[in-house]
Amino acid sequence: MKAVVARTVRTIPTPVTVEEIDITTSPDLELRYGLEIPVLLIDGKKVAKYRVTEGELGRILQAKAGGAG
């Protein structure tokens, strides 16, 4: 997922900030997401777990940029 996110954000015109978090540094995050990693949140909302395609992520980000999400 990490590679897909990196490739996808480079292809969209709107600037995107990506933050990678190691859930093992937080008991709360490990409890919440431990069985779902990797998990992708956008603006605090879970949009994918385990995997996402570049097409799916591109559509999600475009919708966010257009105010549709």
Q: Which pLDDT score is estimated for 69?
A: 46
C-beta of residue 65 within 8 angstroms of C-beta of residue 12: yes
Please check the confidence at residue 68 and state whether its pLDDT lies above 80. Answer: no
Token pair, residue 65, equals 């940029």
C-beta of residue 69 within 8 angstroms of C-beta of residue 63: yes
* CA angle in degrees (0–180, nearest 5) for 25-27-28: 115
What residues make up the domain containing 57?
A: 2-65
Helix, strand, coil shares of the chain, percent, nearest 5, are 45, 15, 40
φ/ψ (deg, to 5) at 65: -65, -35
Q: What is the pLDDT of residues 2-48, one digit of tens each?
A: 999 999 999 888 888 999 999 999 999 999 998 899 999 999 999 99
For the entire predicted model, the pTM comes to 0.81
- Assign residue 28 the CATH number of its domain: 3.40.30
